Structure 1
Protein backbone atom coordinates (compact mmCIF):
# COMPACT_ATOMS: atom_id res chain seq x y z
CA UNK A 1 0.00 0.00 0.00
CA UNK A 2 1.35 3.44 -0.92
CA UNK A 3 2.19 5.94 1.85
CA UNK A 4 -0.36 8.42 0.45
CA UNK A 5 -3.18 5.83 0.61
CA UNK A 6 -2.20 4.87 4.17
CA UNK A 7 -2.33 8.50 5.28
CA UNK A 8 -5.75 8.88 3.66
CA UNK A 9 -7.11 5.85 5.55
CA UNK A 10 -5.73 7.18 8.84
CA UNK A 11 -7.39 10.57 8.24
CA UNK A 12 -10.73 8.91 7.48
CA UNK A 13 -10.46 6.80 10.66
CA UNK A 14 -9.71 9.90 12.74
CA UNK A 15 -12.68 11.71 11.19
CA UNK A 16 -15.01 8.80 12.01
CA UNK A 17 -13.75 8.70 15.62
CA UNK A 18 -14.31 12.43 15.96
CA UNK A 19 -17.90 12.10 14.76
CA UNK A 20 -18.53 9.27 17.25
CA UNK A 21 -17.12 11.37 20.11
CA UNK A 22 -19.27 14.37 19.15
CA UNK A 23 -22.43 12.27 18.93
CA UNK A 24 -21.69 10.69 22.32
CA UNK A 25 -21.14 14.13 23.84
CA UNK A 26 -24.37 15.51 22.36
CA UNK A 27 -26.47 12.58 23.58
CA UNK A 28 -24.97 12.34 27.06
CA UNK A 29 -26.17 14.28 30.09
CA UNK A 30 -24.70 15.08 33.47
CA UNK A 31 -28.10 15.76 34.96
CA UNK A 32 -29.41 13.16 37.44
CA UNK A 33 -32.30 10.89 36.67
CA UNK A 34 -34.31 12.24 39.54
CA UNK A 35 -37.32 10.03 38.92
CA UNK A 36 -35.50 6.95 40.20
CA UNK A 37 -34.50 6.09 43.75
CA UNK A 38 -30.78 5.30 43.55
CA UNK A 39 -29.87 1.80 44.66
CA UNK A 40 -26.47 0.58 45.76
CA UNK A 41 -24.95 -2.75 44.83
CA UNK A 42 -25.94 -4.18 48.20
CA UNK A 43 -29.45 -2.81 48.21
CA UNK A 44 -31.06 -6.23 48.39
CA UNK A 45 -28.28 -8.10 50.15
CA UNK A 46 -29.62 -9.95 53.20
CA UNK A 47 -29.03 -8.13 56.45
CA UNK A 48 -26.09 -9.78 58.25
CA UNK A 49 -26.87 -11.68 61.43
CA UNK A 50 -25.35 -9.08 63.73
CA UNK A 51 -26.58 -10.98 66.80
CA UNK A 52 -24.17 -13.77 66.00
CA UNK A 53 -21.17 -11.45 66.25
CA UNK A 54 -20.15 -11.50 69.90
CA UNK A 55 -17.15 -9.15 69.82
CA UNK A 56 -18.44 -5.56 70.12
CA UNK A 57 -15.80 -3.97 67.89
CA UNK A 58 -16.22 -6.66 65.24
CA UNK A 59 -19.99 -6.13 65.31
CA UNK A 60 -19.60 -2.39 64.83
CA UNK A 61 -17.17 -2.88 61.96
CA UNK A 62 -19.60 -5.25 60.25
CA UNK A 63 -22.47 -2.82 60.83
CA UNK A 64 -20.56 0.09 59.31
CA UNK A 65 -19.33 -2.02 56.39
CA UNK A 66 -22.92 -2.93 55.56
CA UNK A 67 -24.49 0.52 55.88
CA UNK A 68 -21.76 2.97 54.84
CA UNK A 69 -21.88 2.30 51.08
CA UNK A 70 -25.63 2.88 51.06
CA UNK A 71 -25.46 6.12 53.05
CA UNK A 72 -22.69 7.42 50.81
CA UNK A 73 -24.71 6.46 47.71
CA UNK A 74 -27.75 8.39 48.93
CA UNK A 75 -25.67 11.42 49.92
CA UNK A 76 -24.05 11.48 46.49
CA UNK A 77 -27.53 11.40 44.97
CA UNK A 78 -28.60 14.34 47.13
CA UNK A 79 -25.51 16.27 46.08
CA UNK A 80 -26.30 15.60 42.42
CA UNK A 81 -29.84 16.91 42.92
CA UNK A 82 -28.45 19.93 44.73
CA UNK A 83 -26.03 20.64 41.87
CA UNK A 84 -28.91 20.35 39.40
CA UNK A 85 -31.02 22.85 41.40
CA UNK A 86 -28.10 25.27 41.59
CA UNK A 87 -27.74 25.00 37.81
CA UNK A 88 -31.43 25.89 37.38
CA UNK A 89 -31.01 28.78 39.80
CA UNK A 90 -28.09 30.22 37.83
CA UNK A 91 -30.04 29.82 34.61
CA UNK A 92 -33.00 31.78 35.98
CA UNK A 93 -30.75 34.44 37.50
CA UNK A 94 -29.23 34.94 34.05
CA UNK A 95 -32.69 35.65 32.64
CA UNK A 96 -33.12 32.31 30.85
CA UNK A 97 -36.21 30.11 30.88
CA UNK A 98 -36.45 26.54 32.08
CA UNK A 99 -37.07 23.78 29.57
CA UNK A 100 -40.20 21.67 29.66
CA UNK A 101 -38.15 18.79 31.08
CA UNK A 102 -36.72 21.05 33.78
CA UNK A 103 -40.22 22.19 34.75
CA UNK A 104 -41.37 18.58 35.00
CA UNK A 105 -38.41 17.71 37.21
CA UNK A 106 -39.05 20.77 39.38
CA UNK A 107 -42.68 19.69 39.85
CA UNK A 108 -41.51 16.23 40.92
CA UNK A 109 -38.98 17.65 43.39
CA UNK A 110 -41.53 20.08 44.84
CA UNK A 111 -43.93 17.19 45.45
CA UNK A 112 -41.20 14.91 46.82
CA UNK A 113 -39.89 17.51 49.28
CA UNK A 114 -43.19 19.24 50.08
CA UNK A 115 -42.48 22.64 48.59
CA UNK A 116 -45.37 24.88 47.52
CA UNK A 117 -45.89 24.35 43.79
CA UNK A 118 -47.86 27.60 43.40
CA UNK A 119 -44.94 29.92 44.17
CA UNK A 120 -42.55 31.15 41.45
CA UNK A 121 -39.85 28.74 40.28
CA UNK A 122 -37.12 30.91 41.81
CA UNK A 123 -38.65 30.53 45.27
CA UNK A 124 -39.32 26.83 44.78
CA UNK A 125 -35.66 26.28 43.98
CA UNK A 126 -34.55 28.34 46.98
CA UNK A 127 -36.84 26.34 49.28
CA UNK A 128 -35.65 23.07 47.74
CA UNK A 129 -31.99 23.95 48.29
CA UNK A 130 -32.79 24.22 51.99
CA UNK A 131 -34.16 20.67 51.95
CA UNK A 132 -32.15 18.80 49.34
CA UNK A 133 -28.83 18.31 51.07
CA UNK A 134 -26.69 15.64 52.71
CA UNK A 135 -26.99 14.11 56.14
CA UNK A 136 -23.54 13.47 57.65
CA UNK A 137 -22.43 9.85 57.54
CA UNK A 138 -21.72 9.70 61.27
CA UNK A 139 -25.19 11.00 62.15
CA UNK A 140 -27.01 8.50 59.94
CA UNK A 141 -24.94 5.58 61.17
CA UNK A 142 -25.43 6.46 64.83
CA UNK A 143 -29.16 6.93 64.39
CA UNK A 144 -29.30 3.57 62.65
CA UNK A 145 -27.30 1.96 65.45
CA UNK A 146 -29.48 3.56 68.11
CA UNK A 147 -32.82 2.75 66.47
CA UNK A 148 -31.95 -0.82 65.45
CA UNK A 149 -29.77 -1.89 68.41
CA UNK A 150 -26.80 -2.17 66.04
CA UNK A 151 -28.84 -3.98 63.41
CA UNK A 152 -30.19 -6.70 65.69
CA UNK A 153 -33.85 -5.58 65.83
CA UNK A 154 -36.41 -7.64 63.95
CA UNK A 155 -37.42 -4.51 62.04
CA UNK A 156 -33.90 -4.21 60.64
CA UNK A 157 -33.36 -7.93 60.17
CA UNK A 158 -36.67 -8.64 58.41
CA UNK A 159 -37.60 -5.26 56.89
CA UNK A 160 -34.42 -3.24 56.33
CA UNK A 161 -35.77 -0.65 58.77
CA UNK A 162 -32.69 0.56 60.63
CA UNK A 163 -34.18 3.98 61.31
CA UNK A 164 -37.30 3.37 63.38
CA UNK A 165 -39.59 4.69 60.65
CA UNK A 166 -43.35 4.35 61.10
CA UNK A 167 -46.14 3.92 58.57
CA UNK A 168 -49.89 4.30 59.00
CA UNK A 169 -51.65 1.96 56.58
CA UNK A 170 -52.74 -1.42 57.91
CA UNK A 171 -50.29 -4.09 56.77
CA UNK A 172 -47.56 -1.62 55.74
CA UNK A 173 -45.11 -3.02 58.25
CA UNK A 174 -44.69 -4.70 61.60
CA UNK A 175 -47.14 -4.22 64.46
CA UNK A 176 -44.96 -3.22 67.44
CA UNK A 177 -45.46 -5.39 70.50
CA UNK A 178 -45.55 -2.36 72.80
CA UNK A 179 -47.94 -0.22 70.75
CA UNK A 180 -50.26 1.85 72.93
CA UNK A 181 -53.93 0.97 73.03
CA UNK A 182 -55.78 2.83 70.27
CA UNK A 183 -52.64 3.50 68.23
CA UNK A 184 -52.67 2.42 64.59
CA UNK A 185 -49.08 2.95 63.45
CA UNK A 186 -46.81 0.14 62.34
CA UNK A 187 -43.03 -0.03 62.00
CA UNK A 188 -42.40 0.29 58.27
CA UNK A 189 -41.09 -2.63 56.22
CA UNK A 190 -38.99 -1.96 53.11
CA UNK A 191 -38.12 -4.14 50.10
CA UNK A 192 -34.43 -3.22 50.28
CA UNK A 193 -31.85 -1.09 52.07
CA UNK A 194 -31.74 1.62 49.40
CA UNK A 195 -35.43 2.46 49.61
CA UNK A 196 -35.28 2.38 53.41
CA UNK A 197 -32.34 4.79 53.53
CA UNK A 198 -33.79 7.06 50.85
CA UNK A 199 -37.09 7.25 52.77
CA UNK A 200 -35.31 8.03 56.04
CA UNK A 201 -33.25 10.84 54.48
CA UNK A 202 -36.26 12.28 52.68
CA UNK A 203 -38.18 12.27 55.96
CA UNK A 204 -35.44 14.26 57.72
CA UNK A 205 -35.13 16.63 54.78
CA UNK A 206 -38.81 17.46 54.35
CA UNK A 207 -40.73 16.87 57.60
CA UNK A 208 -41.66 19.98 59.56
CA UNK A 209 -40.44 18.32 62.78
CA UNK A 210 -36.84 18.63 61.55
CA UNK A 211 -36.94 22.23 60.37
CA UNK A 212 -34.35 23.14 63.00
CA UNK A 213 -31.89 20.57 61.62
CA UNK A 214 -32.26 22.10 58.17
CA UNK A 215 -31.80 25.58 59.61
CA UNK A 216 -28.55 24.51 61.30
CA UNK A 217 -27.32 22.91 58.07
CA UNK A 218 -28.17 25.97 55.97
CA UNK A 219 -26.40 28.23 58.48
CA UNK A 220 -23.28 26.07 58.26
CA UNK A 221 -23.45 26.20 54.46
CA UNK A 222 -23.69 30.00 54.44
CA UNK A 223 -20.73 30.26 56.81
CA UNK A 224 -18.79 27.75 54.66
CA UNK A 225 -18.34 25.50 57.67
CA UNK A 226 -18.40 21.68 57.69
CA UNK A 227 -21.83 20.06 57.99
CA UNK A 228 -21.25 17.71 60.92
CA UNK A 229 -23.30 15.11 62.69
CA UNK A 230 -22.66 16.68 66.09
CA UNK A 231 -24.12 19.97 64.91
CA UNK A 232 -27.13 18.53 63.07
CA UNK A 233 -28.04 16.20 65.93
CA UNK A 234 -29.29 19.30 67.77
CA UNK A 235 -32.15 19.43 65.27
CA UNK A 236 -33.41 15.92 66.04
CA UNK A 237 -35.17 16.76 69.29
CA UNK A 238 -38.48 15.53 67.85
CA UNK A 239 -37.16 12.22 66.50
CA UNK A 240 -37.67 10.52 69.85
CA UNK A 241 -39.97 11.03 72.81
CA UNK A 242 -36.77 11.26 74.87
CA UNK A 243 -36.00 14.65 73.33
CA UNK A 244 -32.76 16.18 74.65
CA UNK A 245 -31.64 12.86 76.18
CA UNK A 246 -31.88 11.26 72.73
CA UNK A 247 -29.83 14.06 71.15
CA UNK A 248 -27.18 13.81 73.86
CA UNK A 249 -26.96 10.05 73.38
CA UNK A 250 -26.50 10.42 69.63
CA UNK A 251 -23.74 12.97 70.13
CA UNK A 252 -22.00 10.72 72.64
CA UNK A 253 -22.21 7.80 70.22
CA UNK A 254 -20.74 9.93 67.43
CA UNK A 255 -17.79 10.99 69.58
CA UNK A 256 -17.14 7.47 70.86
CA UNK A 257 -17.34 5.76 67.44
CA UNK A 258 -15.84 8.48 65.23
CA UNK A 259 -12.56 6.64 64.68
CA UNK A 260 -14.28 3.42 63.60
CA UNK A 261 -16.67 5.31 61.32
CA UNK A 262 -13.88 7.06 59.44
CA UNK A 263 -11.71 3.98 58.94
Structure 2
Protein backbone atom coordinates (compact mmCIF):
# COMPACT_ATOMS: atom_id res chain seq x y z
CA UNK A 1 0.00 0.00 0.00
CA UNK A 2 1.43 3.35 -1.03
CA UNK A 3 0.91 6.44 1.08
CA UNK A 4 2.76 9.54 -0.10
CA UNK A 5 4.58 11.84 2.29
CA UNK A 6 2.25 14.64 1.23
CA UNK A 7 -0.76 12.53 2.17
CA UNK A 8 0.76 11.69 5.55
CA UNK A 9 1.37 15.39 6.22
CA UNK A 10 -2.22 16.24 5.29
CA UNK A 11 -3.53 13.42 7.50
CA UNK A 12 -1.56 14.53 10.53
CA UNK A 13 -1.97 18.30 10.22
CA UNK A 14 -5.61 18.35 9.21
CA UNK A 15 -6.42 15.62 11.68
CA UNK A 16 -5.12 17.82 14.48
CA UNK A 17 -6.91 20.88 13.10
CA UNK A 18 -10.19 19.00 12.84
CA UNK A 19 -9.86 17.60 16.33
CA UNK A 20 -9.20 21.06 17.78
CA UNK A 21 -12.05 22.50 15.76
CA UNK A 22 -14.44 19.94 17.17
CA UNK A 23 -13.36 20.71 20.73
CA UNK A 24 -13.44 24.49 20.51
CA UNK A 25 -15.98 25.26 17.77
CA UNK A 26 -18.83 26.99 19.65
CA UNK A 27 -21.75 25.47 17.74
CA UNK A 28 -24.50 23.49 19.41
CA UNK A 29 -24.73 21.14 16.44
CA UNK A 30 -21.38 19.55 17.34
CA UNK A 31 -21.39 16.44 19.54
CA UNK A 32 -20.03 16.77 23.06
CA UNK A 33 -18.53 13.27 23.00
CA UNK A 34 -14.93 13.01 21.83
CA UNK A 35 -13.34 9.54 21.48
CA UNK A 36 -10.18 8.89 23.45
CA UNK A 37 -6.92 7.91 21.77
CA UNK A 38 -4.68 5.62 23.77
CA UNK A 39 -1.17 6.70 22.85
CA UNK A 40 0.50 3.74 24.53
CA UNK A 41 3.76 2.15 23.47
CA UNK A 42 3.54 -0.96 21.33
CA UNK A 43 4.07 -4.06 23.49
CA UNK A 44 7.00 -6.32 22.67
CA UNK A 45 4.94 -9.09 21.12
CA UNK A 46 8.10 -11.05 20.25
CA UNK A 47 8.40 -11.97 23.94
CA UNK A 48 4.97 -13.63 23.87
CA UNK A 49 4.88 -17.24 22.59
CA UNK A 50 3.74 -17.45 18.97
CA UNK A 51 0.30 -18.90 18.39
CA UNK A 52 -2.90 -18.35 20.31
CA UNK A 53 -1.25 -16.46 23.16
CA UNK A 54 0.35 -13.87 20.88
CA UNK A 55 -2.82 -13.59 18.79
CA UNK A 56 -4.85 -12.87 21.89
CA UNK A 57 -2.38 -10.27 23.15
CA UNK A 58 -2.23 -8.59 19.74
CA UNK A 59 -6.00 -8.37 19.31
CA UNK A 60 -6.56 -7.28 22.92
CA UNK A 61 -4.15 -4.40 22.40
CA UNK A 62 -5.29 -3.32 18.94
CA UNK A 63 -9.08 -3.69 19.07
CA UNK A 64 -9.62 -0.70 21.41
CA UNK A 65 -7.46 1.49 19.15
CA UNK A 66 -9.43 0.48 16.05
CA UNK A 67 -12.71 1.13 17.85
CA UNK A 68 -11.50 4.55 19.06
CA UNK A 69 -10.48 5.57 15.54
CA UNK A 70 -13.82 4.31 14.20
CA UNK A 71 -15.62 6.37 16.84
CA UNK A 72 -13.69 9.43 15.66
CA UNK A 73 -14.80 8.71 12.10
CA UNK A 74 -18.44 8.61 13.19
CA UNK A 75 -17.99 11.87 15.10
CA UNK A 76 -16.58 13.59 12.02
CA UNK A 77 -19.26 12.01 9.83
CA UNK A 78 -22.09 13.26 12.03
CA UNK A 79 -20.58 16.71 12.32
CA UNK A 80 -19.93 16.96 8.57
CA UNK A 81 -23.48 15.89 7.78
CA UNK A 82 -24.85 18.57 10.07
CA UNK A 83 -22.65 21.28 8.58
CA UNK A 84 -23.48 20.15 5.04
CA UNK A 85 -27.17 20.84 5.67
CA UNK A 86 -26.74 24.39 6.97
CA UNK A 87 -28.29 27.06 4.73
CA UNK A 88 -25.33 29.40 5.22
CA UNK A 89 -21.79 28.93 6.52
CA UNK A 90 -19.51 31.32 8.35
CA UNK A 91 -15.95 31.78 7.12
CA UNK A 92 -14.73 29.47 9.86
CA UNK A 93 -17.25 26.78 8.95
CA UNK A 94 -16.24 27.03 5.30
CA UNK A 95 -12.58 26.57 6.25
CA UNK A 96 -13.43 23.58 8.43
CA UNK A 97 -15.43 21.99 5.64
CA UNK A 98 -12.70 22.68 3.07
CA UNK A 99 -10.17 20.98 5.33
CA UNK A 100 -12.43 17.96 5.64
CA UNK A 101 -12.89 17.74 1.87
CA UNK A 102 -9.13 17.85 1.37
CA UNK A 103 -8.50 15.25 4.07
CA UNK A 104 -10.93 12.79 2.49
CA UNK A 105 -10.22 13.65 -1.15
CA UNK A 106 -13.82 14.70 -1.74
CA UNK A 107 -14.10 15.89 -5.35
CA UNK A 108 -17.71 17.05 -5.34
CA UNK A 109 -18.31 20.78 -4.66
CA UNK A 110 -17.33 21.36 -1.04
CA UNK A 111 -20.47 23.23 -0.07
CA UNK A 112 -23.74 22.25 1.60
CA UNK A 113 -25.96 20.14 -0.59
CA UNK A 114 -26.87 16.61 -1.62
CA UNK A 115 -23.65 15.88 -3.60
CA UNK A 116 -21.51 16.66 -0.56
CA UNK A 117 -23.77 14.63 1.72
CA UNK A 118 -23.41 11.67 -0.64
CA UNK A 119 -19.63 11.97 -0.57
CA UNK A 120 -19.61 12.19 3.21
CA UNK A 121 -21.78 9.09 3.39
CA UNK A 122 -19.34 7.18 1.20
CA UNK A 123 -15.99 8.39 2.53
CA UNK A 124 -16.34 9.07 6.25
CA UNK A 125 -17.21 5.78 7.88
CA UNK A 126 -15.86 2.93 9.95
CA UNK A 127 -13.69 -0.01 8.91
CA UNK A 128 -14.71 -3.40 10.34
CA UNK A 129 -12.49 -4.40 13.23
CA UNK A 130 -11.94 -7.85 11.73
CA UNK A 131 -10.61 -6.38 8.50
CA UNK A 132 -8.27 -3.96 10.26
CA UNK A 133 -7.01 -6.72 12.56
CA UNK A 134 -6.33 -9.07 9.67
CA UNK A 135 -4.37 -6.47 7.72
CA UNK A 136 -2.43 -5.34 10.78
CA UNK A 137 -1.53 -8.92 11.70
CA UNK A 138 -0.39 -9.65 8.17
CA UNK A 139 1.48 -6.39 7.56
CA UNK A 140 3.24 -6.33 10.94
CA UNK A 141 3.78 -10.03 11.65
CA UNK A 142 1.49 -9.82 14.66
CA UNK A 143 3.27 -6.67 15.81
CA UNK A 144 6.79 -8.12 15.63
CA UNK A 145 8.08 -6.61 12.38
CA UNK A 146 10.91 -4.08 12.31
CA UNK A 147 8.53 -1.43 11.03
CA UNK A 148 6.09 -2.06 13.87
CA UNK A 149 8.77 -2.12 16.57
CA UNK A 150 10.82 0.83 15.36
CA UNK A 151 8.17 2.93 13.63
CA UNK A 152 4.80 2.00 15.16
CA UNK A 153 3.70 1.11 11.62
CA UNK A 154 1.17 -1.73 11.77
CA UNK A 155 -0.24 -1.48 8.25
CA UNK A 156 2.76 -1.16 5.95
CA UNK A 157 2.09 2.46 4.97
CA UNK A 158 4.69 3.90 2.59
CA UNK A 159 6.04 7.43 2.24
CA UNK A 160 8.21 8.89 -0.52
CA UNK A 161 10.52 11.63 0.77
CA UNK A 162 13.98 10.89 2.13
CA UNK A 163 13.94 10.47 5.89
CA UNK A 164 10.16 10.18 6.16
CA UNK A 165 10.38 6.65 7.52
CA UNK A 166 12.45 3.47 7.61
CA UNK A 167 14.23 2.22 4.50
CA UNK A 168 13.28 -1.39 3.67
CA UNK A 169 16.34 -3.63 3.85
CA UNK A 170 15.40 -5.33 0.58
CA UNK A 171 14.29 -2.24 -1.33
CA UNK A 172 14.87 -2.60 -5.06
CA UNK A 173 17.63 -0.48 -6.65
CA UNK A 174 16.27 2.88 -7.73
CA UNK A 175 13.21 2.69 -5.49
CA UNK A 176 12.57 5.76 -3.35
CA UNK A 177 9.88 4.65 -0.94
CA UNK A 178 10.30 4.27 2.80
CA UNK A 179 7.99 2.73 5.36
CA UNK A 180 6.34 5.53 7.31
CA UNK A 181 6.95 6.01 11.02
CA UNK A 182 4.35 7.19 13.53
CA UNK A 183 4.55 8.68 17.00
CA UNK A 184 2.26 5.98 18.34
CA UNK A 185 0.41 2.88 17.10
CA UNK A 186 -2.85 4.84 17.37
CA UNK A 187 -1.64 7.24 14.69
CA UNK A 188 -0.87 4.28 12.45
CA UNK A 189 -4.42 2.98 12.88
CA UNK A 190 -5.80 6.46 12.21
CA UNK A 191 -3.77 6.82 9.01
CA UNK A 192 -4.89 3.37 7.85
CA UNK A 193 -8.60 4.07 8.33
CA UNK A 194 -8.36 7.48 6.67
CA UNK A 195 -6.46 5.95 3.76
CA UNK A 196 -9.16 3.33 3.23
CA UNK A 197 -11.75 6.10 3.36
CA UNK A 198 -10.01 8.61 1.10
CA UNK A 199 -7.76 6.78 -1.37
CA UNK A 200 -9.15 6.32 -4.87
CA UNK A 201 -7.65 2.84 -4.96
CA UNK A 202 -10.32 1.65 -2.52
CA UNK A 203 -13.40 3.01 -4.24
CA UNK A 204 -14.77 -0.51 -4.77
CA UNK A 205 -14.38 -1.26 -1.06
CA UNK A 206 -16.29 1.89 -0.15
CA UNK A 207 -19.02 1.09 -2.67
CA UNK A 208 -19.45 -2.36 -1.14
CA UNK A 209 -19.49 -0.88 2.36
CA UNK A 210 -22.21 1.57 1.39
CA UNK A 211 -24.42 -0.87 -0.51
CA UNK A 212 -24.04 -3.77 1.93
CA UNK A 213 -24.16 -1.85 5.20
CA UNK A 214 -27.18 -3.85 6.40
CA UNK A 215 -25.58 -7.21 5.70
CA UNK A 216 -24.29 -9.45 8.48
CA UNK A 217 -20.65 -8.81 9.37
CA UNK A 218 -19.21 -11.97 7.73
CA UNK A 219 -20.80 -11.13 4.37
CA UNK A 220 -19.83 -7.46 4.62
CA UNK A 221 -16.19 -8.19 5.44
CA UNK A 222 -15.90 -10.75 2.63
CA UNK A 223 -17.15 -8.13 0.17
CA UNK A 224 -14.82 -5.43 1.46
CA UNK A 225 -11.80 -7.70 1.12
CA UNK A 226 -12.42 -7.79 -2.64
CA UNK A 227 -11.64 -4.06 -2.74
CA UNK A 228 -8.09 -4.51 -1.41
CA UNK A 229 -6.47 -5.54 -4.68
CA UNK A 230 -4.39 -2.34 -4.78
CA UNK A 231 -3.26 -2.47 -1.17
CA UNK A 232 -0.25 -4.64 -1.96
CA UNK A 233 1.97 -5.13 -4.98
CA UNK A 234 0.94 -8.79 -4.72
CA UNK A 235 -2.60 -7.96 -5.81
CA UNK A 236 -5.07 -10.83 -5.66
CA UNK A 237 -2.65 -13.06 -3.78
CA UNK A 238 -2.77 -10.51 -0.97
CA UNK A 239 -6.58 -10.43 -1.11
CA UNK A 240 -6.71 -14.22 -0.72
CA UNK A 241 -4.30 -14.10 2.22
CA UNK A 242 -6.37 -11.49 4.09
CA UNK A 243 -9.46 -13.57 3.40
CA UNK A 244 -7.74 -16.66 4.80
CA UNK A 245 -6.58 -14.72 7.85
CA UNK A 246 -10.18 -13.88 8.73
CA UNK A 247 -11.34 -17.44 8.01
CA UNK A 248 -8.74 -18.64 10.51
CA UNK A 249 -9.87 -16.11 13.13
CA UNK A 250 -13.68 -16.04 12.89
CA UNK A 251 -14.08 -14.66 16.42
CA UNK A 252 -12.83 -11.30 15.13
CA UNK A 253 -16.11 -10.85 13.27
CA UNK A 254 -17.91 -10.45 16.59
CA UNK A 255 -16.11 -7.23 17.49
CA UNK A 256 -18.33 -4.14 17.08
CA UNK A 257 -16.95 -1.27 15.02
CA UNK A 258 -17.18 1.05 18.02
CA UNK A 259 -17.85 0.73 21.71
CA UNK A 260 -20.81 2.44 23.30
CA UNK A 261 -20.34 6.19 23.52
CA UNK A 262 -19.61 7.70 26.89
CA UNK A 263 -18.86 11.27 27.99
CA UNK A 264 -15.17 12.14 28.19
CA UNK A 265 -13.51 12.35 31.58
CA UNK A 266 -12.65 15.99 32.29
CA contact (8 A) 1:64 1:141 kept: yes
**Structure 1 residue aligned with 2:65:** 70
The answer on whether the counterparts of 1:61 and 1:260 sit within 8 Å (CA) in structure 2 is no
Q: Secondary structure at the match of 1:121?
A: coil
Change (3 A) 1:202 1:124: same
* Equivalence for 2:230: 238
Provide the rounded CA distance (Å) in 2 between the counterparts of 1:172 and 1:243.
Answer: 25
Report what 2:102 is aligned to.
Answer: 111
Name the structure 1 match of 2:152: 160
Aligned counterpart, 2:30: 31
| Alignment match, 2:7 | none
Q: 2:215 aligns to what SS in structure 1?
A: coil
Call closer, same or farther: CA 1:262–1:47 in 2, change over 3 Å: same
TM-score (structure 2 length as normaliser):
0.77
Match of 1:18 in 2: none
Q: Which runs of 5+ in 2 are unaligned?
A: 1-25, 256-266
Q: Which runs of 5+ in 1 are unaligned?
A: 1-26
The alpha carbon displacement at 1:225 in A equals 2.9
Task: Spell out structure 1 runs of 4+ moving beyond 4 A.
Answer: 27-30, 117-120
Q: What is the TM-score when the length of structure 1 is the normalising length?
A: 0.78
* Matches of 1:153 and 1:71, distance apart in 2: 19
1:15 is matched with none
Name the larger-Rg structure.
Answer: 1
Q: In the superposition, relative to structure 1, how do residues 28 and 226 fare at CA in structure 2: closer, same or farther (>3 Å)?
A: farther
Q: Which structure is richer in relative contact order (CA contacts within 8 A, separation 6 or more)?
A: 2
How many residue pairs match? The answer is: 226
Alignment of 1:41-190 (within 5 A): 41=38, 43=39, 45-89=40-84, 91-92=85-86, 96-116=87-107, 118=109, 120-122=111-113, 123-190=115-182
> Is the Cα contact below 8 Å between 1:107 and 1:117 reproduced in 2?
no
Taking the aligned partners of 2:193 and 2:98, their CA distance within structure 1 comes to 20
Cα deviation for residue 216 of structure 1 reads 0.8
Distance 2:48 2:144 in 1: 10
